[in-house]
Structure 1
Amino acid sequence: MGKMKDVDGENHGKGKRSSKLCGTNYPVSIAFIVVNEFCERFSYYGMKAVLTLYFINYFNWNKNLSTSVYHAFSGLCYFTPLLGALIADSWLGKFKTIIYLSIVYVIGHLVKSVGAIPDVGDKTVHVVLSMLGLGLIALGTGGIKPCVAAFGGDQFDEENTDERRKFFSIFYMSVNAGSVLSTIITPILRGDVQCFGGDCYALAFGVPAALMVVALVVFIAGSGLYKKSPPEGNVLVRVCKCIGFAIRNRWRNSKKSPKRKHWLDWAEEKYSKRLIQEIKMVCRVLLLYIPLPMFWALFDQQGSRWTLQATRMNMNFGGGFIVKPDQMQMLNALLILVFVPVFDMGIYPLVKLCRIKLTPLRKMATGMILAALAFCAATVVEIFVIKTVVEPPAAKESLVQVYNLMDSKVTVHFQEYTGFSESLTPYKDSSGYSILPLRGDSEVHAVTVDHNGDKYECALMFTERMAYSLFLHPPVQPSGSVCKLVEDHITKSETGAAFVRFFNTHTELINATVGTEEVYAPGNYGMSYNISVPRGVYNKVNCMTNSKRYEIDLGLLDFGAFYTIILSEEGNDLVGRKMEDIRANDIHIAWQIPQYVLITAGEVMFSITGLEFSYSQAPASMKSVLQAGWLMTVAFGNVIVLIVAEGAGMEQWVEFLLFAALLVAVSIIFSIMGYFYTYVDPDQMFKEEAIDGKVESSKKDEMVSLAEQTKQTKL
């Protein structure tokens, strides 16, 4: 065979491409690759950090739908590496594949940013643009993913194996450096910068788009320094054809021909022994990949379920420093920057000193166990968090709480429901929500109110799956009614904000201003609509009637709480009594730190090791394909979460515990599989085969020469 044509037009000679960073064996070209990866990961993780809250707050999707779309996008980002590997290995080469798909990547970011601008169109237009943008981003980021890591590994000479191994740690640190900055900055751009009358998602998506442009420019700038390997041909198609031929040949001729050591050996009639050997090596590694998606099913929930958990926690660290729920993801990237050198220079050498052989597969199994422990920690946190959450009523049930606004104690009794009878002190928080059974999807309940011997009857309509507050107030003439039934909002804010509403016992309409929000409460026991306000102390809240201006003190409106402010006139002043309908988030967000520490330690042992393992165990012609196979385990992990989020319908803490238990079981299976795995050095193996082949060929030539000499002698 002649030399394969270099379709990239790439010069594979040495020269300036072999230049090294000062005093090291690292090629200068990897500096451009590392910077490119930093900017690209800033772009990806910055956009992804705010994605779940974008779905919930901008599109008003529920938690399960938002989680499902988030993980569908994440899964797609890890399915497309297979396409990228095919393009790189069979057509364009790694360099051009990275260039072209990065352009697609930039376009996706721009479309996604435009979709977050409210003035562009209606909700349907926003959803279409956002989904189109996410699709292009998934194609771009996934397509270049297997190429960039392998392209970086290609820059090293064969003898620089130690430098190549350390490069993967540096590469991974650049990923997390970009991630940690983006997960700090983009939530700030989202929440602290206001545009179009609300959170500025357009800016939060626009800045990552700009960083992706920088990533593309930097990568192109290093073009003259790269060592560019030509495409190896359509590797995957050849592999599939070889496997298909082996299966068919075995099926047809297994009874006629003698048995063979391996089922792939049935392809020897048509394909080279080297290709068959390479496929065997790839298949052995891919078999080990089967249990791995479960780790990623847990790991990728940092951006969905763990972020939603953070929205229901106390995010105040004192001194005016408040963490946003989508910023907690930066802990993972920040801890990676700390843990990588700690593990490489501290923990691994220490384990080696203890004469414990810590192989790559053992490291990965340990990483799985640490991730399972992280979800056990998340389960404990979730159990305490849900104590501040009101559980929605089921079918044929309503929730009701009662407030007494009269001047003395009252007793309230639901005539059709003997289980509900309460004595209430005036102007105190309610005793909490009680479940009210209904005979159908709605029902009228007769309520008796006893106040100082006077009894009042109220007929009130309740609907299933709804929550209500019943306010008991002095009789309003001429009807003499003492009941005011109001629908309640019991879902906590997904951003940690507080909800406030005003119940007006004054005769005039009142206009109240809380921060930048205005709300109107009708007179004579009228209720305002709910407003969402940032957590903070509100000492001076302006309340205006047609004739007078008042100022009331609401104090602290805390994370996730729901308050009803009772406005009543006392003398010449207006008094606001604050009632807490739903408890504030009283579990501090710092309790999430242990679960982030555990899952990050697991990631260091699992992901970095797996990345290096995939590269080291792959034949030279199939490195990108095997890298794509590794990345597809992440895709299937996200599919697992998508299925559970949409189909399981279980409480969140139970779901966390289920994931932890499944990963422990999977880690045991993986450990058994790893025990029987034999590590190989593909390059060395094929070198030895080549040498053996030359020796064998030389012996054959000698034998032919001797036979010819004997023949001539006889003649």
Structure 2
Amino acid sequence: MELEKVDDASDTRKLNEDAHKNGEVKVHKSGYPKHVFFIIGNEFCERFSFYGMRTVLVLYARNYLRFDDDSATSIFHAFTMLAYFMPIFGGIIADSYWGKYKTIALLSIFYVIGHGVKTLAAIPYIPSRGAHIGLSMLGLFLIAVGTGGIKPCVSTFGGDQFTLDQTHYRSQFFAMFYFSINCGALISKWLTPMFRADLDCYPGEEGPEFQECFSVAFGVPGALMLLAVVLFFAGSKFYTRVQPEGSVFWKFCKCVYSACKNRWLARKANSVKKEHWVDYADAPKRLKRDTKYVLRVLYLFIPLPFFWALFDQQGSRWTLQALQLDGYWGSYQVKPDQIDVINPLLIVTLIPLFEATLYPLLRHCKINFSPIRRMAVGLVLAGVSFICAAILQFNIDAGMTSVPAPDQFAIRLINVGPCDVNLESSSEVFNGLVIGSNDVSDTKSNFFPGNTSVSLNISSCGGSFLHQLDIARDDGVVADVIIGGNGSSLYSSIMPTRKLENGKSIFTFINVDASHELALNSSMFMFDLKPGQRSNEIEIDKGFTSYGVYIDDSSRGQRLVYNGTVESLPGGVYSVIMNSQSSGLGAVEFAPGRRQLDDINPNSINIAWMIPQFFVLTVGEVFLSVTGLEFSYTQAPPTMKSVVSSFWLLLVSLGSVIVLLIAKTHAIDRQAHEFLLFAGLIGVAALIFVFLARGYKMVDENEFRSSEDEEEDTDERTSLAA
């Protein structure tokens, strides 16, 4: 998860000094200002709300709103882009117009309304898909405005509650504030997928929209956001409220604009060239000086959006990758959107571990691991994590079953007779093909365009039989054509090709016994099958399931004729052929000890294989994000720390723009190749960062203080001379 800027002690101290002079600050010399716990509780609930909703967002767009993978990814990153773009406006509004308290209060109400609209959109009883999409987009917009607008205000508002003699207490507050952020994210990323997948919100209802409980998965985070608002308002009468004095960010933008405009005019007028282009600005000397410092930092920020482009795909592309894996860790099933919890777990572990071991060891060995070098390594590690993701995806793809495209149709021939069959056909695929007794043809190359006619001349021990297959389907399905008797009869039905993403398997049973109606009974299913009939799709949990086969006997009534067992693995699709041509009535054995067909291969790779890519990316985050926060804070002048913080959040937004552009072009068919593309892009970004950082000289914070002292001395001398 991203680390948020929570310690702006210098700005807070300045505001407290000014407010203290004006008699606006309540002094808490007697002890800790306990009302800040309302702010800490508010932040915990708000972060639970934000991350909980965002964790299930990509699956909501894909499974519930029925968008394809690229569109679902685009929705996720468009929301992230807006959420991290809004802090700029939230900061300007708070600093220039409303103040922090009013900004947090009003935008939090928008936030709650957004959650309410989003939850309403997830209730499947609304008949129109367009209504679901419209309400969802409106809810996401309001949530993005709310979370982005309050993001730059809450931590500094908490800092405003401390007086000058409470520096130690203020440090404790920021530590607890940061802890609440991580706790909220960690708990919500674990629980919200369970609400989505494990709750049966609509018992008895059928249809894909009723299979997952997105209404509760969004409703619980919405309730937490409502609680966040209640907690915030509960402390209202105790808060210290610093009045807005104008946005530093806005002053910075005006300074840059003025410098660009005046420099352009000076060039046209052939005026004397100044040392730095910012010197052309119509602004106070200190503002121009501070603007130069900020621009030096922003210059290094240019390649960093590529890191966030990769980082935020943990919640989009990597979640979709987890859908293709076996989520079972022993008996517990990890949800695909739950795997992202690894990131905050590693963050709270690695940060103190590195501070206590790695960095002291490097200093002891006299290895210069400067902030800029850490950030460069962070960029490289992000690329390595996507190479790991690509390798995993290549292995996933290697085990996937080929299925026809939406404009195609496939045929699978199954011979359940006692003799081999020889085929002569109008299709080159089947012409000259020999299918042994109790054998199956390969479907990988048996793809036909829609509305195709195929003739089959079947020769077997019973003679020669001509059959005509008219294919009038083109929706990407597979037809099972079962050759019965001695080639004289055909049974045709549609084989399921969809995979379940809940850890279960799909089974269908086909009765090819020409004489008996079969009754199948187990703890998980019960149904009757007429001759030539295929059962409905049956969802079966991972493991072994036993069943019994019964027939009606006119003299002895219904009797058990066979006990069978099926084995299911996550994501597998299987067919079981019920036949009585061999030893008694039972399932045909297509290979020794095998009584079922693997229609679609199961998810054979465990989700634990995603841990390496999460680990590498999180180490990269610690090196780049944590170090980048410290770097931007120490390298920015005291009056401009909020400006640099705003641009830091803007980098996240620009990263999502990069993902949006690549996802919407649909230029890359294979996901593994897209992962490699991102790895290559951030490799280039790392090289650019190293090039830009070559001439950068770290600024000692004392340099800012000495510059301010010099300016104060100059102002004093000027005043005395006057």
- Calculate the TM-score normalised by the size of structure 1: 0.86
CA contact (8 A) 1:249 1:266 kept: yes
Return the offset for 1:583.
Answer: 1.2
1:205 is aligned to 2:218: yes
1:607 is aligned to 2:621: no
Q: 1:299 to 1:173 in 2, by over 3 A?
A: farther
Q: Which moved more, 1:232-241 or 1:218-227?
A: 218-227
1:36 corresponds to which of 34, 42, 54: 42
Return the offset for 1:664.
Answer: 1.7
Q: Give the AA of the match of 2:188.
A: S
Q: 1:145 to 1:611 in 2, by over 3 A?
A: farther
Matching of residues 96-135 of structure 1 within 5 Å: 96-135=102-141
Please list the CA deviations of residues 218-249 of structure 1 after superposition, one character each: whole Å capped at 9, or x if unmatched: 33445566555432314444333332322222
Aligned counterpart, 2:353: 342
1:447 is aligned to 2:456: yes
Aligned counterpart, 1:629: 647
CA contact (8 A) 2:429 2:446 kept: no
Aligned counterpart, 2:6: none
Aligned equivalents of 1:8 and 1:433: distance in 2?
77
Q: Which moved more, 1:136-145 or 1:691-700?
A: 691-700
Please list the CA deviations of residues 394-423 of structure 1 after superposition, one character each: whole Å capped at 9, or x if unmatched: 598644432222223323454331576543
Aligned counterpart, 1:712: none
Matching of residues 53-64 of structure 1 within 5 Å: 53-64=59-70
Q: Give the AA of the match of 1:667.
A: A
CA contact (8 A) 2:417 2:485 kept: no
Matching of residues 176-215 of structure 1 within 5 Å: 176-196=182-202, 197=205, 198-215=211-228
1:674 corresponds to which of 673, 689, 693: 693
Matching of residues 574-589 of structure 1 within 5 Å: 575=587, 577-589=595-607
Q: Give the AA of the match of 1:325.
A: P
Aligned counterpart, 1:73: 79
Q: Which moved more, 1:111-120 or 1:546-555?
A: 546-555
Return the offset for 1:111.
Answer: 1.5
Return the offset for 1:263.
Answer: 0.9
1:241 corresponds to which of 225, 243, 254: 254
Q: Give the AA of the match of 2:285.
A: K
Return the offset for 1:693.
Answer: 3.1
1:142 is aligned to 2:157: no
Aligned counterpart, 1:263: 277
Aligned equivalents of 2:636 and 2:245: distance in 1?
14
Aligned equivalents of 1:274 and 1:113: distance in 2?
49
Q: 1:158 to 1:384 in 2, by over 3 A?
A: farther
1:304 corresponds to which of 312, 316, 327: 316
Q: Give the AA of the match of 2:303.
A: P
Q: 1:395 to 1:39 in 2, by over 3 A?
A: closer
Return the offset for 1:194.
Answer: 0.2
CA contact (8 A) 2:249 2:642 kept: no
Q: 1:395 to 1:206 in 2, by over 3 A?
A: closer
Q: Give the match's secondary structure for 2:52.
A: helix
Aligned equivalents of 1:699 and 1:210: distance in 2?
60
Matching of residues 211-610 of structure 1 within 5 Å: 211-223=224-236, 228-254=241-267, 255-267=269-281, 270-318=282-330, 320-393=331-404, 398-417=409-428, 421-428=432-439, 430=440, 432-436=442-446, 438=448, 442-452=451-461, 454-462=463-471, 466-474=476-484, 482-506=489-513, 523-540=530-547, 548=558, 553-568=564-579, 575=587, 577-610=595-628
Aligned equivalents of 2:20 and 2:419: distance in 1?
91
Q: Give the match's secondary structure for 1:326.
A: coil
Q: Give the AA of the match of 2:482.
A: L
Q: Give the AA of the match of 1:696.
A: T
Q: 1:693 to 1:60 in 2, by over 3 A?
A: closer
CA contact (8 A) 1:150 1:623 kept: no
Q: 1:166 to 1:591 in 2, by over 3 A?
A: farther
Return the offset for 1:560.
Answer: 0.8
Return the offset for 1:342.
Answer: 0.8
CA contact (8 A) 1:296 1:637 kept: yes
Aligned equivalents of 1:645 and 1:166: distance in 2?
43
CA contact (8 A) 1:147 1:624 kept: no
Please list the CA deviations of residues 301-360 of structure 1 after superposition, one character each: whole Å capped at 9, or x if unmatched: 111221121121112222x22212111111111111211211222222222222223333
Q: 1:231 to 1:421 in 2, by over 3 A?
A: farther
Q: Share of identical aligned residues, percent? A: 38
Aligned equivalents of 2:644 and 2:318: distance in 1?
31
Please list the CA deviations of residues 263-315 of structure 1 after superposition, one character each: whole Å capped at 9, or x if unmatched: 11111xx3211222232233222222221111111111111221121121112
CA contact (8 A) 1:469 1:487 kept: yes
Return the offset for 1:48.
Answer: 1.7
Aligned equivalents of 1:221 and 1:509: distance in 2?
69
1:644 is aligned to 2:657: no
Aligned equivalents of 1:585 and 1:19: distance in 2?
62
Q: 1:28 to 1:488 in 2, by over 3 A?
A: same
Aligned equivalents of 2:527 and 2:82: distance in 1?
44
Return the offset for 1:483.
Answer: 3.3
Q: Number of aligned pairs?
A: 687
Please list the CA deviations of residues 92-147 of structure 1 after superposition, one character each: whole Å capped at 9, or x if unmatched: 22232222212211111122112211224432222222222111111111112222
CA contact (8 A) 2:28 2:162 kept: no
Q: 1:218 to 1:542 in 2, by over 3 A?
A: farther
Aligned equivalents of 1:545 and 1:303: distance in 2?
54
Aligned equivalents of 1:357 and 1:363: distance in 2?
10
Q: Give the match's secondary structure for 2:605.
A: coil
CA contact (8 A) 1:102 1:141 kept: yes
Q: Which moved more, 1:494-503 or 1:219-228?
A: 219-228
Aligned equivalents of 2:659 and 2:522: distance in 1?
40
Q: Which moved more, 1:170-179 or 1:362-371?
A: 170-179
Aligned equivalents of 1:245 and 1:36: distance in 2?
40
Q: Give the AA of the match of 2:305.
A: P
CA contact (8 A) 1:393 1:464 kept: no
CA contact (8 A) 1:519 1:531 kept: no
Return the offset for 1:594.
Answer: 0.9
Please list the CA deviations of residues 45-89 of structure 1 after superposition, one character each: whole Å capped at 9, or x if unmatched: 111222222222222322222222122222222122222122122
CA contact (8 A) 2:406 2:476 kept: no
Q: Give the match's secondary structure for 1:53.
A: helix
Aligned counterpart, 1:708: none
Please list the CA deviations of residues 582-614 of structure 1 after superposition, one character each: whole Å capped at 9, or x if unmatched: 111111111111111111111122222223333
Return the offset for 1:496.
Answer: 3.5
Return the offset for 1:689.
Answer: 3.6
Q: 1:414 to 1:18 in 2, by over 3 A?
A: farther
Q: 1:70 to 1:695 in 2, by over 3 A?
A: closer
Q: Give the match's secondary structure for 1:526.
A: coil
Please list the CA deviations of residues 144-179 of structure 1 after superposition, one character each: whole Å capped at 9, or x if unmatched: 222234445666778999998897676444323222
Q: 1:553 to 1:38 in 2, by over 3 A?
A: farther
Aligned counterpart, 2:679: 660
CA contact (8 A) 1:413 1:449 kept: yes
CA contact (8 A) 2:311 2:617 kept: yes
Aligned counterpart, 2:709: 691
Q: Which moved more, 1:539-548 or 1:492-501?
A: 539-548
Aligned equivalents of 1:541 and 1:553: distance in 2?
6
Aligned equivalents of 1:272 and 1:641: distance in 2?
40
